[in-house]
Amino acid sequence: MVEKGKGFQIFAHILFIILVLCAIAPFILLIMSSFTEEQTLITNGYSFFPAKFSTYAYEYLMTKSSAVFRGYGISFLVTIAGTLCNLLITTLYAYPLSRRELPGRGIFAFYLFFTMLFSGGLVPSYLMWTQTFHIRNTIFALLIPNLLLSAFNVIMMRTYFTSNIPDAVVEAARVDGASEFRILFGIVLPMALPIIATIGLLVGLAYWNDWMNGLYYLNDDRMFSIQVLLMNIQRDLDSLRQQAQSGGSVNTANLPSTSVRMALTVMGILPIMIIYPFMQKYFVKGIAIGAVKG
């Protein structure tokens, strides 16, 4: 039995090593492709061991370094501010829903669930945000529409509160004279770090990867986040190549169209790749408890 169990462990380790390599391989291929000479990519395709290395794609991006660094700054600002605001609003909605004594609890829960099934659509939303709230070409255009609150996150946090915060703890705090805000921020939230980290990571990813709000609500290139900026750089490259193919006088010999796509992707996902390993423990635990139990 011992030998059989040991054999299974060896098999499981080999299997998981293969799965890890399968998960890491695309990122390695992406990074190597971004450092591959353009003509080599066109001729030989993508390779883990390119025939000719080149940093021209990154050099091309650095010609727009001021815009790139500004885009990173805006993305970090929006991601941090948006994640904090989202967590605050989500918590203030989810915690009352988790308390059975809340008057009208079913109405608030139905209103939340209703928004998951129906929405006003893109055009009414655009008119509302631009003509009523006047957020066009402001930082609020990157913060508020579509991302400030998620019904799914509220439900997941409410489930966590219901399943993992004992009623006895809350009642004891009330007997001691603690207010509801004191109970929430002093007792409940320290016990809910896994779900907070999980939702924070999900929301942060959504804010960091968002480009639709910038596309719809921004015309001022000084307000572009890194995702919108990189999308515009790629669009400009494609436009130059189309001009050359239609007989224009544009010289595209040194435009790294294929490799620059890889470089743009690397620059877009690099901060997430750095942060995610530190959040993975809380992310897995929060998803398992917040979405399965209850």
* Domain map (residue ranges) of the chain: 64-292
- For 59, the enclosing helix (H) or strand (E) is helix 56-62
* Closest residue by Cα to residue 60 from 215, 240, 218: 240
- pTM comes to 0.78
Q: What is the pLDDT of residues 256-293, one digit of tens each?
A: 567 777 787 787 777 777 777 776 666 665 555 544 44
Q: What is the average pLDDT across 141-166?
A: 88
Query: Which residues lie across from 36 on neighbouring strands?
Result: 53
Q: What is the pLDDT of residues 215-266, one digit of tens each?
A: 889 888 788 888 888 787 777 777 766 766 666 555 555 555 677 777 877 8
Residue-wise DSSP of 131-143: IIS--TTSTHHHH
With respect to CATH, is domain 64-292 assigned 1.10.10.10?
no
Give first-to-last CA distance, the chain, whole Å. Answer: 38
Q: What is the average pLDDT across 21-35?
A: 85
Q: What is the pLDDT of residues 101-125, one digit of tens each?
A: 888 888 888 888 888 888 778 888 8
CA–CA dist 197, 287 (Å, integer): 10
SS3 55: coil
Q: Which residue has the tokens 């609150």?
A: 149
Mean of the per-residue pLDDT values of the chain:
81
* Closest residue by Cα to residue 267 from 202, 201, 208: 208
SS3 118: coil
User: What's residue 86's pLDDT?
Assistant: 94
* Closest residue by Cα to residue 281 from 204, 164, 193: 193
Look at residue 71 and tell me whether its pLDDT is greater than 70: yes
Token pair recorded at residue 78: 């929006």
